[in-house]
Amino acid sequence: MAAHDETAGDSAGLRVRRLGVELPIGRSSWIALRVRGPGSPIIFDGPVWAHTSPVYVRVAGRRIASRPDAEFFVAWIEQMLRVVDARNRFARTEDRRRVESLFRSAQEEYRKRADAR
């Protein structure tokens, strides 16, 4: 791995870091970059951090599949449905039913993914 700093030519003093790394990928995955900094008095809830959006990588045309991840989301969506039920903050019954339907639809997709492997 190699990294170096460059100071960009703008007046804001933007710092650019370049990172090169060989990353073997044996199965379809996603990759993101996460950085953490020290705590700061101007940051409310802890250290400074940033996270990129994921870059999705398909190996041999296969989609990303992880049974543990799918099972996690089946359970997480169930918890979200309990929150919807407990809070019941909808102006109309149809709005609540639509939200519940969207959650159930997503949950069914994750159930299929969990069972596919």
pLDDT along the chain (117 residues), means of 10: 44 71 90 84 78 91 89 96 93 96 97 84
Q: What is the pLDDT of residue 5?
A: 47
43 and 85 in a common domain: no
Q: What is the pLDDT of residue 66?
A: 87
SS3 95: helix
pTM: 0.58
Q: What is the pLDDT of residue 117?
A: 56
Q: What is the pLDDT of residue 36?
A: 84
Residue 10 domain flag: yes
78 and 50 in a common domain: no
Name the domain boundary from 37, 57, 77: 57
Q: What is the pLDDT of residue 107?
A: 97
Checking 60-67 for CB contacts under 8 A at 24+ apart, the result is: 60/28, 62/27, 62/28, 63/28, 64/28, 64/29, 64/30, 65/28, 65/113, 65/116, 65/117, 67/113, 67/114, 67/117
Domain containing residue 111? 67-115
